[in-house]
Structure 1
Amino acid sequence: MSIAIGALVAAKELDREHLAFLKQMGCETVGITFWETLGETDLIALAELVNEAGLPVSALSVWGNPLANPSTAEGWKTLIRHASLFGSPFVTGFAGRVPNASVEESIPAWKDLFSDLLEEAYRCDCKGLLMENCRMGDVWKRGKWNIAINDDAWKLLFSNLDDERLGLEWEPCHQVEAFVDPLDQLRRWLPSIKHIHGKDACVDWTRLKTFGLYAKQKAITTTLPGLGDTDWKALCTVLQNSGYEGSIDLETEGSSFFDDPPSKTQALSYLRSCRS
């Protein structure tokens, strides 16, 4: 089965015109995203709109800290309850964090919340809950967003809550930023990785060696696939050999996915060439 190639788009940007444009760009899936809260979004109307466009939904995501922001936690629950309207995609987001606490110190609160979310997922027959590993600047000992940030954290999370409907949402970008080999990590965690974001990063080694990691001049830049340090063809080969059935959805930074369409179209075309 071929890996589907799609895009991550903010829910507020999804209308008939933009959905038609996504299909014109060659998107085969769409990941629908929210920031911290679902707000006043009418999920029933949104589902009808997306289904009418004939674009399969790969994930419903709310980015925020569900251990500190009740609106984010409620967003998880609401998406789980409505996932069936969108074809039962994964529901995803940050694992959350007790503000300014370490990874270990946040585990009890995380386990309580995600145990409840998993119960809801089974009750609603939701496909699965996936944790994305963007650090948002967090480190092991402290932070305010997310504890699912690296291998050691994942081992701790899954040892405390081992469930077939709990997994990872992954992308090479965060691994390049952390100087982790993306392909090696992908191979280590293949059974848990169910959805992939198409985003990469590029390390300027000369700048890094000159100014260091924490200098004013950044040595690491996020990029679209095809412009960074990751071998996406090798990545797709690993996925295909493992029987991966998910999608790779292009993720961009900025106010709108639809800014600079040619660069997005080129990245989508590149990803399609890598899966062949």
Structure 2
Amino acid sequence: MRNIQLGALLYASEVNNEHLETLKEMGFETISICFWETLGETDFASLARCVGEAGLPVTALSLWGNPLANEEVRQGLTTLIDQAYRFGNPFVTGFAGRVPAGSVDASLPKFKEVFSELLEQIYRHNCRGLLLENCRMGDLWKRGAWNIAINDAAWSLIFNTLDDPLLGLEWEPCHQVEALVEPLAQLTRWKAKVLHVHGKDAHVDATLLSEIGLYAPNKAIKPTLPGFGDTDWRSLMQILHEGGYQGSIDIEAGGPSFFANFEETVASLAYLKECRRSL
């Protein structure tokens, strides 16, 4: 069953011929390309040429930042939409943003203003969709600095505020495990809106959690790769498959480099392939 492809999430700075050839040799099938807050001086024609020569489909172009408060981030998303044609018009993804220090509710009018404009551009450029990554970045319901798309209640408000078939979620189990939410139950609730998945999980040390709670300097919940955390990815893929998912799971290795612990990442890929074979 290959309707679910398995790939790698890379920062644009790591996209080069050598790295892409290594990914192909190890059996990665897609890539997702991301940036942190700025696109810098990226030459998108050269970047697309490099990816095209490798023959790895691009599933998403992503910019992490706050588009409701940071004009460079907002313009960066606009640029990604403009340049998406070079990569086969994949999803463009990022945080929903937030009015600084504001609540989820207080940020909704600004969210609607900014993302309505971005969606119009998505349609003009025939992109696959505009997706919201749900990393909390330390934000809470009443205050924060990055992202209002942090949980079920927020998603309901967001999609009631701006309901569009091309506006969806870029989802992963890690953020749910960190919030003590059962990820498979959540995915079942939201599978119609989950259009791209990051391969990232987490593990809860229940004994330590009972001692220190959620807000101690030491953490009882650690991010992991698929196969090393608490989520059953066979069941996760089954839910996606039953929902008609036609996309990728792109492994998010964490840290500054995708290749820092590459042996473990390749082991995670092997685990995901084994999960896929059970569909």
- What TM-score, normalized to structure 2? 0.97
SS at structure 1 position matched to 2:174:
helix
SS at structure 2 position matched to 1:144:
coil
Q: Write the distance in 1 (CA, Å) between the matches of 2:214 and 2:59.
A: 35
SS at structure 2 position matched to 1:138:
coil
Q: Report the equivalent of 1:247.
A: 248
Map 1:62-81 → 2, pairs under 5 A: 62-81=63-82
Q: Report the equivalent of 2:110.
A: 109
Q: 4+ residue stretches of structure 1 with deviation over 4 A?
A: none
Alpha-carbon distance, 1:88 to partner: 1.0
> Does structure 1 residue 152 correspond to structure 2 residue 153?
yes
Q: Report the equivalent of 2:131.
A: 130
Q: Report the equivalent of 1:167.
A: 168
Q: Could you report, residue by residue, the CA deviation over 1:195-246 in whole angstroms, capped at 9, with x for unpaired residues?
A: 0000000000100111222122211000011110001011111111221101
What letter corresponds to residue 107 of structure 2 in structure 1? S
Alignment RMSD (CA, Å): 0.8
Q: Report the equivalent of 2:16.
A: 15
Map 1:136-215 → 2, pairs under 5 A: 136-215=137-216
Q: Report the equivalent of 2:220.
A: 219
What letter corresponds to residue 84 of structure 1 in structure 2? Y
What letter corresponds to residue 185 of structure 2 in structure 1? D
Q: Report the equivalent of 2:45.
A: 44
What letter corresponds to residue 152 of structure 1 in structure 2? A
Alpha-carbon distance, 1:67 to partner: 0.9
Alpha-carbon distance, 1:260 to partner: 2.0
SS at structure 1 position matched to 2:246:
coil
What letter corresponds to residue 41 of structure 2 in structure 1? E
- What TM-score, normalized to structure 1? 0.99
Q: Write the distance in 2 (CA, Å) between the matches of 1:239 and 1:107.
A: 29
Alpha-carbon distance, 1:126 to partner: 1.1
Alpha-carbon distance, 1:48 to partner: 1.1
- The alignment of Structure 1 onto Structure 2 pairs a total of residues equal to 276
Q: Which consecutive unaligned segments of at least 5 residues does structure 1 have?
A: none
Alpha-carbon distance, 1:190 to partner: 0.7
What letter corresponds to residue 26 of structure 2 in structure 1? M
What letter corresponds to residue 245 of structure 1 in structure 2? Q
